[in-house]
Amino acid sequence: MKKQAELGLNLSTRRTRKAVFLDEMELVVPWRELIALIAAASPVASTGRPPFAHETMLRIHFLQQWFGLSDLA
């Protein structure tokens, strides 16, 4: 069963302040350049659990800083 958003039936036009903020940060933060800097300095593990993607970890870190979240939150 498809969701309303997948069908293009999302009737909600109200955007939250957080959604607006995150859209603005998508335009302001140079994600590709930051990820390139991190990827160049990160070690490549050959054994063990595969690491999370650099972009995922960077975005999580920024969200924690922007919204005052602790690791447990």
Which residue has tokens 């800097």?
37
The answer to whether residue 11 scores a pLDDT higher than 90 is no
The answer to whether residue 7 scores a pLDDT higher than 60 is yes
The confidence band for 10, taking pLDDT boundaries of 50, 70 and 90, is low
Predicted structure pTM score = 0.65
Question: Any alpha helices (H) in 1-73, and if so which ranges?
Answer: 4-7, 17-28, 31-41, 54-67
For the record, the structure tokens of 10 come out as 């999302």
Measured over the CA atoms of residue 55, residue 23, residue 27 and residue 66, the dihedral's sign is negative
For the record, the structure tokens of 26 come out as 């998508």
The answer to whether residue 73 scores a pLDDT higher than 60 is no
Task: Map out the domains of the chain as residue ranges.
Answer: 11-40+51-73
| pLDDT tens-digit map of 14-67 | 888 888 888 998 999 999 999 999 988 888 777 888 888 999 999 989 988 888
How far is Cα 13 from Cα 40, in angstroms, rounded to an integer?
A: 41
Q: Vertex 69, ends 72 and 32: CA angle to 5°? A: 110
